[in-house]
Amino acid sequence: MKNFQQINLFIFLNGLLIFDFLPIHPIKIFAKDLDLSDLTKINNNSPQFKPMETQKGFDFSISNYISKNKMIEDLKANGDGLFNLLAFEQKDLEEEFFVEIDSDLQYRDKDLFVAEGNAIIYLSDATLSAELVKYDLTNKILTVVGNVIFKKGEQYFEASKLIYNLKEDTGNIYDVYGLLDSKTFGEDFKLELDKNAKKLEKLEKIKGTNQPKYINTATIGLVNKFEDDKAFNITDTDLEIPKISRWRYKTNEFIYNSKTLESKKIYFTNDIYNKPQFIFLSKNFSAEIIDNKLRLLSKNSWIILDNKLKIPIGRQSVIDKEDSLIRWGFGADFDDKDGYFFYRSSYPKKIFRDFSLQLQPYFLIQRALKGNTNAFRAKNTSVFSGKEKNDISFSDYLALDLLLNGKEKNWNIESKIQLNSLDISRLDESLRTKLILSKRINLKNTQKTKSNITNDYALNKISDIQGDLNNDKFLNNFIGIDETADSKPNFKEDNSLNIYSEKNKQTFTNLLDIQIYNIFREKVVKDFATEEIHFASGFNIANKKAWLNNEKYSSLSLIYDLGHFKSKSRSVDEFRELFRNSFVGQYNYQFPIWKKNALDKTIDKTYKFTPNVISQSLDWSTAIQSGIFLYSDGSNQNVLKFKTGPVLTIGSFKKKILDYTKVRANYNYTLKEGQSPFSFDNIDDEPRINLNLQQQIFGPLLLSFDTSVNLNTGSYTNVKYGLDFKRRAYSIGAFYNSTDKSAGIKFNIFNFDYSGLSDKF
């Protein structure tokens, strides 16, 4: 009897084992049964599962093993292009695409391979996790459901559901919210995964943002691209998306295949907090791979400010600026174009190798309505005669700018051509040209050093450093000595040129700029006049250094220029044609007298009017400039200029009334020996005081005032009024310069860096 029982038990256990290996029976012996349909209703905001320490459950049948490998092979064959596109990037793989699947439970259910419970698909350089992954082996349909998270480097999105038909190469993603980090594209797609590694970290969402800091500013057009000295000229709404490092985005649905990614409506924001102050709305958005390059295009774009003002900006290239997209604009130039005009602008169009051409035709409204022009001399008069009223033809209604940019053997090549009338008979007066070959060498190798700047005082001073180092008045306007009222103009920062140590509070920049130029009718804006160089060609070289050491800022620029000039004589109405050698040096030093220490380390939601913590301080700024100018007729001009004065910044710009004031004042004294034979570079030696005031009025409104006061005559020059609407994520500003009757508008979008991800907006 005992032997009979043993035989029956042996037969039963073997029968159970054989039955378990039958593919028709999906037994789940290591996990609780789960209604798969319920998983489609899982809340997308539920917390991500943590890695489990318990033994995972698997169906060890041969059928399950084969079906899992089949899914992996199908993804290897078809998934590479898809997952690159989902990260808004395209990369050519040099090695085989790697795929692995992990979950709490894996089994086969008829024609479905199922991975459920903390399911994660590991790819060569990306991960896709969810609560359930199903793969239809017959129809080749991948379904990922419940707290879907995709991560590739710094590129990230979460969704409620992802479907991909590998046979048809089509799919959908629903309820998407993600982070696009453009600054790490190059790094994200060079990641490698150890194929032999058994322990792989699970992907977790970082809740909230950490250590937010302002980096720099991207400007939306509304300023002249071709000539900085033009009057009010709204060129376009050129949204420089690549300048923004991190964009949050959301959409109800992505429709995609391995070549295109589309959405009927998608929202982008640079703001790190909710409710976002700035939103870029893209309708009929598409990401497409063309010639192995990803291009993101919005066919119908809008800017939404504080969820109150909605501005249409037309068809835009969201990332790639090489698309030839046509845009319309409106502006005014009262000197060369007789007032207001319409224009039609295009993005730079590649013509050959690394060279691109941009065209901007104008229709001069005010000139056409008046029926005459005041921008040219009378016929058959001297080149030094004043401008007079002239009759016009239809060709005078039109103007054209051309900008050619290129690169050849590490040299930047830029050619600008401006025609203020298409009437050929006025060519000598309407034409302005400039050809510049330039090269910048970073003498301080910082390529392997990452900037670690968290000190806002240091950030502001580094901004000043970039302003000084990029101040190319010496190179472009050929004055040689800083003749303008604002000695620290706002230039775009490039912190990659800096090495900064928070521990030692030091930064150092050392640049060598080389430039070869050829110009025809170049305007030179000086303090008390606007002069013109009729013709010039030459070469210059400049070494520019800057230091920030224990909050004391210094910069030194040494410049040599050799040029051949043809321009108006200083003393009589005639041209002089001479060679000029010039040696210019400039040293700036700024140190804090008082500095408020109890400042926030980083901004938070209470900062509604500024992208960074205001460094409140009283600084003293001093500059010494010297120049020696030698002319081929034997004349010379030697100049020593001294500038000094306070810079006071108070207020955090957090409260609504009078919570921010910045005052800069400096006294200018010049010692001069000799005179220039030219009018354009003859240095004015009269003493003056330069004043700049910025004052918050109420909320985001900031009033600014600039002027230069001649102490001998009491006259005011370069009087400029400004009114800005300042927000954390963007700013809108307008100015009017009463001296040259110019006006302008600028729209800035602020760039932030941070870790983590805020909740869906």
Two tokens, residue 494: 């490039």
Instruction: Categorize the per-residue pLDDT at 547 as very low, low, confident or very high, splitting at 50, 70 and 90.
Output: confident
The span from the CA of 689 to the CA of 313, in Å, is: 42
* Domain parsing of the chain, residue ranges: 11-205, 323-408
How far does the chain reach from its first CA to its final CA, in angstroms?
A: 74
183 band by pLDDT with thresholds 50, 70 and 90: low
Mean pLDDT of 732-738: 83
Q: Beta-carbon neighbour count of residue 62 at 10 Å?
A: 9
Mean pLDDT confidence for 661-673: 94
Task: Give the distance, in angstroms, between the CA of residue 707 and the centroid of all CA atoms in the same chain.
Answer: 31
What confidence score (pLDDT) does residue 623 get?
Answer: 92
pLDDT at 560 over 70: yes
- DSSP reduced 3-state for 537: strand
Element (H, E) at 155: strand 155-165
Mean pLDDT of 296-304: 81
Residue 189 has pLDDT above 60, yes or no: no
pLDDT band at 340 (very low <50, low <70, confident <90, very high): confident
500 touches 507 (CB < 8 A): yes
**For residue 131, what pLDDT band results from cuts at 50, 70 and 90?**
very high
pLDDT in tens, 411-430: 999 999 999 999 999 998 99
- What's the whole-number mean pLDDT along residues 589-596? 92
pLDDT 10s digits, 446-502: 444 444 444 555 555 545 444 444 443 333 334 444 433 332 222 233 333 333 334
pLDDT, mean over the chain = 75
Query: Comparing 373-377, 519-523, 755-759, which segment has the lowest mean pLDDT?
Result: 755-759
pTM: 0.71
The pLDDT value recorded for residue 486 is 31
- pLDDT for residue 342: 83
Give the model's pLDDT for residue 333.
81
| Percentage of residues of the chain with pLDDT beyond 70 | 68
Q: What is the mean pLDDT of residues 230-249?
A: 50
- Which pLDDT tens digit goes with each residue over 694-725? 999 999 999 999 999 999 888 888 888 999 99
How many angstroms separate the CA atoms of 142 and 134, rounded?
Answer: 6
Query: Kind and range of the H or E element at 428?
Result: helix 427-430
Total H helices, total E strands in the chain: 7, 36
Q: Is 33 exposed, middle or buried (0-12, 13-18, 19+ CB in 10 A)?
A: exposed
